[in-house]
Structure formats: C-alpha cells, structure tokens
Amino acid sequence: MTRIRLCNLVAAAALLALAHPAVAQQPPLANPAEAFGARESITNISLSPDGRTVVYLAPGAGRSNGVFAVDLATGTTRPVTRTSGDPLRFIWCDFSGNDRLVCQLYGVLPAGSVLAGSLQLVSIDTDGENPVTLGQRRSAYAAYQRQFDGEVIDWLPEADGSVLMSRVYVPEVGRVNTRLQDTSEGLGVDRIDTRTARTRPIEAPRAEIGEYMTDQRGNVRISGSVRVRGATGMLGDTISYRYRVAGESEWRDLDAYNSVTSGGFQPLAIDAELNAVYGLQRHQGRDALHRISLDGSMRRELVFAHDSVDVGGVLRLGRAGRVIGVTFAEDTGRSEYFDEEYAALARALSQALPGLPLIRFESASDDESVLLIWAGGDTDPGRYYTYTKATRALNEIALARPQLEHAALANVRPVRYQAADGTSIPAYLTMPPGRTDARGLPAIVMPHGGPSVRDVWGFEWLPQYFAHRGYAVLQPNYRGSAGYGQAWFVVNGFQGWRTAIGDINAGGRWLVAEGIANPDQLAILGWSYGGYAALQSGVLDPGLFKAIVAVAPVTDLGELRDRARLYTSGANEREMIGEGPHIRAGSPAQNAGSIVAPVLMFHGARDINVDIGQSRLMRERLRAAGKEVELIEFETLEHSLDDSAVRAQVLARSDVFLSEALDLPAPPAAIIASASGRGGEPGAAPTPTEPQGPAFPGAVVPEGAVGTEQSETDEDE
C-alpha cells in the first residue's frame, strides 16, 4: 500500500467565513425545523482547470440561488450571477476555462395546456461579465417550443473556453421566399466557443437521435436513437446505440437498452486509452459493469459485478471524465477504484478524517495536482476539502450544512427484519441522538420515493429532524426498490404494490415487536412514491399507523396513467404502471373509506412529477368518507419543494400534526410558529445570505409548445 501523509490543516482562507459568515458559528438549535429544513449551503461545487479557483452555488430566499467564485490563494469570494428561481434557477456550473463558466438552469414552464421542465445552458465570466446563451438562437418562427438547449458532452480540456455540445434544434416555419429559414431539426453536435457563442457543426441535427457520447478527446464515438411509437408521437422504450471505430465516420451497431425493463447495455463512459465503452448490463440478475471494445471487434468483458447488489455507476474524475472506479451500495455506499493512486488516497483520507467514512472526489484540476473532495457520514452532512498532491495538504474549505454544525445528530444503523412471507428486508434505523437503546418511543416508518431507487446510508435531513425531535425512524428498502437486482425489483412498486406496501407495513410491526416503538405512537411519512406508500399502507393495514403524512403523493394510478398521455414519454410511463385490477385496488383515492388514521398532505402546484390533482382528489375522497384530512398547497413550487422556508414549514407542521395525533407533548413555540409559515422567531437559525451579483439576462421563458416531455431534475425525496 502506498503511504500518503495527509496534513489535517484548515485553510486560513476557509470558505466557511467567506460566503456566509453569519452561519459559521451556531448556538444550540432554537428552531430545529428551520435548521434541518434549510437547503444545503453548497449544492454544486467545481474546481478550475488550473486548480486555483472554486465555483459553487448557494441558496438564497425562496427558490433563488447564486453563483460564487473563490480564489483559493487569497480567500477572496466574489458573486458571479444569480437567479430569482421564478421560474429558472441554476442547478450546476463548471469551468470551460480558468475564467469562464458554463451553467445550466432549470425551471418548470407552461407548455401549451401543461407544465413541462425546461433546461437552458448559459456561459459567463467568473467576474460576472460577458453572459451568453448556448442554445440554438430563439426565433419567432420556431415550429414548437424547445424545452432543452442540450448538454455539454466534452469539455475539451486542451481547448481553453470551447466545448462540444449536443444541441437541440427546432425548425422554423412561416418564412416565405427566404434563405434565412432554419429547417434543422433534432439533436446535433456543435463545437462552441463559450466566450463568443460562435459554433462549428460537428454532427448535423437528426430527429431520431437522443444522445451522443464522445471519448473526451473531441471525437463523437456513440449515438443513441429512440423510435417513436407509430403515429402517436410517443417515445418508444428502447434506445438503440451505434458506435464509430476511431478515425471512421461510419456508424456500426453497438447494443440496445430498454428504459422500462432496464434490459440490455446502457453506455456510461468511453475510455479513449482502452478504446472501449463502459456500461451497465445484467449479470446473474444484477446490474454489473461491462466493457465493450470500440475497435470493431465488439469484444465484451465483465469488469465488475457484486454478488448481492447492483453496480450503481462509474467514478469519473475531472473535466476529462477519466474513469477511476465503480460504485455500489451494500449496507453502506462503496467504491472500488481501478486506479491504485486513488484507491490509496481514499484509504488515507478515511484514516485522516475519522467520523467521515464517505469519501467522494468531486473535481480536479486538469493535471490532477489539486483535488476537490467531499467527505461525510451519518452524523455529518458533509465537508469540502482541497487536497494538493505536491504538499499533501488537506484543507477544509466549506460545510454542506453549517446550520447543523453544533446540532445533535443521530447514528444511522443498517438493520433487517422479516416480511410476512419470511423475506429479509434491509432497512436503516435512526434512533434519537444518545438513545440507541431506548424503548417505547414514538416512531415513524419512512418509505423512500421512486419507487425504482433505494435509500443509502448517510445523512438525510428528513429522518434526522424527527430523530432530533425524539422519534425512532425506519427507512425500509422494500421489494420494488432498485439496487438489489431484478428479483428484488420484481415488476415495480406500482404493479407490485401489494408486496411493496406489505414490506413497509412489516417494518412498522417489527418496530413494535422489538419494543422500539409504542404501538399507539406509530406513524408513517413519505414523499412522492413514499407518500403513495404512506396512504396505501392505511388501505392495506388500517389502524397500524396512527397518523399519515404524505408529500406530493400519487393517489390514483388510473389518473396517473391518463395524465401520462400529455407527454411524449407517456407511453413508457403507462407501460410501467400497467393495466388490470391493481389499478383500482392499488389506488388510495379509490379506497379512501378504508383509511382510519388522520392524514396530512403537502403538494407543490407546479409539480410535474406528480400532478397536484392527485392530492386534491385524495382530500375530496377522504372528506366524502368522513375522514380527517388536511392538504397544504404551495402555489409556486415543484416536486422537491426547493425552498428553505417551505421545507421548515413542512417539518414543523408535520411535527405539530404528529404530536396531536399521537398524543405527544406540543413542540416548542418556535416550531409551532414555523408550522404556520411564519417562522423567523427570535433565536432561530439564520438563513443563508441572499445571492448577490447581476441577475443572469439569458434566462428566458419561451412561449408556445408542441411535443413536450415530462422532465424533472429534482429527485424524489
């Protein structure tokens, strides 16, 4: 093993005091709802090609956020730009040159009769000057609305300020007798100077292409196409991939991937040195990492497989996207490094950072002499460090959640319990801080969203808040969750709802049988599919849970299938939901009379993952059945409720609701104030500094729409 000496030094120019000096030191939490509900102080962070500058996003009031740049040598922080979040907000920024940024904005915009996600790419100097948009120029003659500008597929490290971008083109109509009309349609690839927006076509736009991949050396090597389902205009479920041999222009068949069944080969990254593509494909019923040669031989080899869980993806480093390892999650997240230098460095970091077992290489200078590292755990939301290889200096530069720096956080313990059929269900148990052996506690079962995702070990603000407030929290990875292979996934959590909900309810009974939970103080809380599960648990096993909290829940599978028709991806969603008796039996709104526990729901009116009509229907059905129900709506918010004050209100109102339903002492006055949406009581945790700098002028709201996709970047909670 290579020995690496690490210096546990805190940089003199720490970002902690630069971006948000008011939150660097915290008193004991006067209002836990505001502290835990606050958005992360850093939501995206990148290192410049020369390793001298860091850029990151920071939240402001409401949905707003801003871009900040920090000179690591001097500690000088400067605001670059900001958005109001209404409707667009930044979701990431990275460097196209040492003084030039490319950033992506996301928002939900009107698209004809529906709402749809929109992604826009922009570029700006690190001093906030010279803003330009990188999408196709906007035209009053566009045949339909362009939802997505495209994406950067190659950062071209050797070409300062230029990138390769897969670009979405919408044809013009209505220009008569003119050569100015642009008839290009589909996805193409352009080389773009991000300083001037000058472009050079690399691949002509083609309507059937949905994806391009490069070897990160400027060469387009893979394309993916999706066929439309007949005359419906709906996207098909299979992506057909083709590739090029190096130096050739001819496309050859590679493989196909089914987005509904997850069958076939899904390309992840091209390794130019090996002249091969890494991708996921099933091996013995689980996703494994394979590699296919791109030299024309199509030689295929198994690179890494796990005997009990799926491979999650590959680890890539820097703007060149060099593949250095693979990720998977057992009871805790794991990384297997192919690069021995980084394997040794990860081991050394784990020793140098006790209590921070999760290590992630976030970014790197182009020569990899300076690294940007995130480290965290279950009782630490995460810290950012720079590491300089020449001096072996490890410098802490920022906290992910400074509001919680002095809060009592809870350990998260992997556990297993038996379902009704004897199947062992993996889960995570979070007990109140310092009370790991407590008995007879109020408890919450908290199923994850998706359903085709899984919970992983580490810090999460929702379960940590309720553990902080004295609850035991169980997070089950029920059958229907992803990550454990196809046999565990079964069909999915909707078609297989009876198994999934049965596993979740078994978790509640286990808490009681183990003596952890008081059976009269057992509740369930979930977001998205987790909200669906919370409501459907009351249908399958009335009376088990004494209170139900559902955030942005699906409540009627038939309505969900019908609404999918409005989007080009709708046929795939309808196929996933399926048809048959499970549609009615598996819909809480169709069985509201079976629910006996009081219900509290929250929903954003601009949610395009789960339409707010789902919660409104559930409220109507519960009221008609004479049940206790409350729905709190947020007019301007989406699926993730990405607003610190609103998240604090969700936590606080849920706290008050559960206290009343479970006959617990009332929460402190500051939490009660936040529950009403007032918040900001004296002594409450300070909110982040409002982002400064000029508002980005390139964030525009297009008009008109045809052929929208139901896109949402916010992951299920």
Average pLDDT of 589-614? 97
Average pLDDT of 415-421? 98
pLDDT beyond 70 at 271: yes
- Contact between 553 and 618 under an 8 Å Cβ cutoff? The reply is yes
DSSP state, residue 394: E
Taking only Cα atoms into account, the Rg of the chain, rounded to an integer number of angstroms, comes to 25
pLDDT of residue 184: 86
pLDDT, the chain, mean: 89
pLDDT beyond 70 at 713: no
User: Could you give the residue ranges of the DSSP H alpha helices within 145-251?
Assistant: none
Q: How far apart are CA 29 and CA 101, in angstroms?
A: 37
Q: Which two tokens stand for residue 572?
A: 């795939």
pLDDT of residue 600: 98
Distant-in-sequence, close-in-space partners of 101: CB < 8 Å, separation ≥ 6: 55, 67, 69, 80, 93, 94, 95, 123, 124, 125, 126
Q: Which two tokens stand for residue 482?
A: 């992803």
The dihedral over CA atoms of 388, 268, 639, 430, expressed in degrees to the nearest 10, equals -60
Q: What angle do CA 12, 18, 19 make, to 5 degrees?
A: 145
DSSP-assigned states of every residue in 403-444: GGTTS----EEEEEEE-TTSPEEEEEEEPPTT-TT--SEEEE
pLDDT of residue 690: 52
Q: Which two tokens stand for residue 367?
A: 């020569």
Grouping H, G, I as helix, E, B as strand and the rest as coil, residue 280 is strand
DSSP state, residue 491: S
The string of pLDDT tens digits covering residues 129-176 is 999 999 988 777 777 778 899 999 999 999 999 999 999 999 888 765
pLDDT of residue 138: 78
pLDDT of residue 348: 94
Structural domains of the chain, with CATH: 412-636 (3.40.50.1820)
pLDDT beyond 70 at 699: no
pLDDT beyond 60 at 540: yes
Q: How far apart are CA 392 and CA 389, in angstroms?
A: 5
pLDDT beyond 80 at 691: no
Q: Which two tokens stand for residue 185?
A: 């349609």
Grouping H, G, I as helix, E, B as strand and the rest as coil, residue 275 is coil
pTM, to two decimals: 0.91
Pairing of strands 358-364, 333-337: unpaired
Average pLDDT of 675-695? 53
pLDDT of residue 59: 96
DSSP state, residue 668: P
> Which of 203 and 184 is assigned the larger pLDDT?
203
The string of pLDDT tens digits covering residues 276-315 is 999 999 999 999 999 999 999 999 999 999 999 999 999 9
Phi and psi dihedrals of 411, rounded to 5?
A: -70, 145
- Contact between 336 and 304 under an 8 Å Cβ cutoff? The reply is yes
